[in-house]
Amino acid sequence: MSEVLVLIDHVDGAVRKPTYELLAIAKRLGEPSAVFIGGADQASGAAEAVKKYGAEKVYTVDDTEIKGYLVAPKAEVLQQLAEKTSPAAILISSSFEGKEIAGRLAIKLKSGIITDAVDVQSSEGGPVTTQSVFAGNFTVQAKVTKGTPIITVKPNAAAPEEGDGAGAVEEFAATISDAAKSAKIVASQPRQASGRPELTEAAIVVAGGRGTGGNFEPIEGFADALGAAVGASRAAVDSGWTPHTFQIGQTGKTVSPQLYVANGISGAIQHRAGMQTSKTIVAVNKDDEAPIFELVDFGVVGDLHTVLPAATEQINKRKG
Amino acid sequence: MNIVVCVKHVPDATADRRFESDNTVDRVGVDGLLSELDEYAVEQALQIKEKSDNPEETKVTALCVGPEKAVDAVRKALQMGADEGILVSDEAIAGSDYVATSLVLAKAISKAGEERAVDLVICGMASTDAAGSVVPAMLAEQLNLPQVTFASVVETQGDQVRVKRDGDTATEVIGGTMPLVLSVTDQTGEARYPSFKGIMAAKKKPLETWSLSDLGVDAGDVGLSVAWTQVEDTTERPPRSAGEIVKDEDGSGATALTEFLASKKFI
Ligand SMILES: Cc1cc2nc3c(=O)[nH]c(=O)nc-3n(C[C@H](O)[C@H](O)[C@H](O)COP(=O)(O)OP(=O)(O)OC[C@H]3O[C@@H](n4cnc5c(N)ncnc54)[C@H](O)[C@@H]3O)c2cc1C
């Protein structure tokens, strides 16, 4: 069986959940080989972590020489690994960095690329991807027809599967060109943990828009009662009420939780693009003609500032 | 400074976007416009020009690859304030994938820089139709330049570029030296509307149309038939069935909401 390369998404050696999702997909396509580009002292910890999710091989690449140099060196590493292993596919998470690496790699390997897959299945002619396009109004099935399929995958495209792989560690020494060492990270400030679930991973998302008038307390209280992540429309972000990392939609995050609650959000197409595939949708909006109501399983026409605190109280009471 | 802004002509996101029978995006039946996310790129190019030591010496060229009617995207950029426009149009390009698109853009940028080297290529963070966000990085690879993508704040000083980028796990400050490829998000600040003066002035600005042969690109290297990816099927999402909507009266809304969530086992 051919190897499938999975680029490990990590922060200082701590492997992020999307990596495990990629490994679950890799198992469908071939033999999962994880690629760790990072500090030599962090490699064994990361290798242990991905082994538990089925990595048969782990290529470790010491990044001392390239750390801080953005993605061009990482694309060179993957290119050289791909030339060595002739993988059946290369899977990368759909983060900013993941997409940059994938884009460069596709040109280097003269290979087709598919971005933002929400599902990947194997077929005789290679991996078949599913993408959600036009603000979630269409799904598209596609295939790479030339070279090594390079696929960037959205969070939650697959459930992580525990199960030991061989996890054989192999150090890989890549040769990095000077040209790749140009754009540089000058400073980096880790995002502060909110204490709530990650937006893209949460089972429940409670979001607020312009209708909050800048007061997110009812949103946060309701979210905490449900154990939910907090999200926002761009209008709320543009007004400076919440950080951009909370934004849901075309130019923010895409979420597909079990339950999405939109409060004081009108339901513009660009917002829908980020939440339309949620399983159950609920809205609270004081305008009974707000387009968001076209999407909902349940809607309350009312003022979020009274409805949400009252509902929060009732939920907390029920939980006892 | 010589700046090229890549602008895409896309089907209007608020219209009923569709696919053709060959699974390519319907670019004829739906009204098109300059991708809103590229307006931010035009805006940043204009701001860099205006803030530079020598605005008169700085040229902003809007570059678009697309069918003939895509010239509207270039015109809009000229109306906003770009100095010159280029449309690369050729029947052979129809149905091109990311790779072919980045190749054509790269060749056009090289040609645009024949007399005066291009210092900065600016793109939007994504197109509003394909939304792949990979063309800027591919373009950088084709041009053998560094890239800095998804900038939410852009600052330039001489040939130095500094941007802020809000990633999933950290906020980063990234620095690079021109020439480079930059992509900017909708957080960079609202794009200006064309003024009446701008609209009138745009009519007199140079606007060229190039074909593949002008760029020395072989028609056999682009288009749907040689795409490195293939769409097998497109399916419209079934409309969501109408849900229950209640009007809040004296607290009834909160109770109904709680009941609903409990019935679905969310509590
Ligand atoms: C290129 C582009 C990209 C974009 N990307 C995104 C994106 O990623 N995400 C995104 O969200 N938007 C995006 N937008 C913006 C989008 O078009 C809308 O402008 C935005 O989603 C509106 O946010 P909103 O629903 O909070 O505000 P509004 O549209 O102003 O709606 C506010 C709603 O709150 C209701 N309301 C007011 N007061 C109350 C109250 N007290 N109680 C209950 N309801 C109340 C109102 O009835 C109204 O329906 C983008 C736009 C463009 C052009």
pLDDT band, very low/low/confident/very high, at B30 (cuts 50, 70, 90): confident
Low-confidence ranges of chain A (pLDDT < 50): none
Angle subtended by helix axes A96-109 and A72-85, to nearest 10: 50
A143 and A246 in a single domain? The answer is no
Residues A3-23 pLDDT 10s: 999 999 999 999 999 999 999
Is residue A187 assigned to a domain? no
Subunit contact A112:B99, Cβ cutoff 8 A: yes
Alpha-helix runs per DSSP H in B11-165: 36-51, 71-80, 98-112, 135-143
Place of tokens 């595939």: A277
User: What's the pLDDT at A320?
Assistant: 80
Q: Is residue A41 part of a domain?
A: yes
In a domain, B220, yes or no: yes
Q: Which of A172-186, A302-316, B33-47, B206-220 has the lowest mean pLDDT?
A: A172-186
Question: What's the structural domain count of chain A?
Answer: 2
Decide if B176 and A295 are in contact by the 8 Å CB cutoff: no
Q: Which range marks the domain in which residue B74 is found?
A: 2-226
Atom of ligand 1 nearest to the CA of A209: 26
Ligand-binding annotation for A93, yes or no, is no
Q: Provide the CATH number for the domain around residue A140.
A: 3.40.50.620
ipTM: 0.92
Selecting from B141, B176, B267 the residue whose C-beta is nearest the C-beta of A103 gives B141
Same domain, A141 and A250: no
B248 is a domain residue: no
Q: Write down which residue in A147, A181, A215 finishes a domain.
A: A181
CA B103 to chain CA centroid, nearest Å: 16
Is A195 inside a domain boundary? no
Q: Is residue B257 part of a domain?
A: no
One domain for residues A37 and A163? yes
**CATH assignment at residue B180:** 3.40.50.620
Please identify, among A146, A181, A216, the residue that sits at the C-terminal boundary of a domain: A181
Contact between B38 and B6 under an 8 Å Cβ cutoff? The reply is yes
Q: Are residues A212 and A116 in the same domain?
A: no
A42 is in an annotated binding site: no
**For position A281, which CATH number holds?**
3.40.50.1220
Single-letter residue type at A288: D
Tell me the C-alpha distance between B265 and B252, whole Å: 20
Are residues A298 and A149 located together in one domain of the fold?
no
Chain A interface includes B120 (CB < 8 A): no
Q: How far is the CA of B250 from the centre of ligand 1 (A)?
A: 26
Q: Give the range of the structural domain holding residue A208, as residue numbers without chain letter.
A: 204-319
d(CA B22, CA B40): 32
CB pair distance less than 8 Å for B243 and A298: yes
Domain count, chain B: 1
Verify whether the Cβ–Cβ distance B253 to A288 is below 8 Å: no
Q: Hey, which residues 227-246 in chain B have their CB within 8 Å of chain A?
A: 227-237, 240, 243-246
- A196 within domain boundaries: no
Inside any domain, residue B47: yes
Query: Residue A194 falls within a domain, yes or no?
Result: no
Structure confidence at residue A223 (pLDDT): 98
What is the position in ligand 1's atom list of the atom closest to the CA of A252?
8
Long-range contacts (CB closer than 8 Å, 24 or more residues apart) made by A14-17? A15/A46, A15/A49, A15/A50, A16/A93, A16/B169, A17/A155, A17/A160, A17/A198, A17/A201
pLDDT at B240: 84
Query: Mean pLDDT, to the nearest integer, of B240-252?
Result: 93
Contact check, Cβ <8 Å, A104/B138: yes
Q: Are residues A90 and A171 in the same domain?
A: yes
Instruction: Please tell me which of the candidates A104, A135, A244 has its beta carbon nearest to residue B187.
Output: A244
Per the listing, tokens 């605005």 go with: B55
A186, amino acid identity: V
Task: Return d(Cα A254, Cα A252) in angstroms, integer.
Answer: 7
pTM over 0.90: yes
Which ligand 1 atom sits nearest the alpha carbon of residue A208?
26
Same structural domain, A8 and A123? yes
Mutation probe of ligand 1 site: the residue of A205, A248, A250 with most atoms within 8 A of C-beta: A250
Domain termination site, one of A129, A148, A181: A181
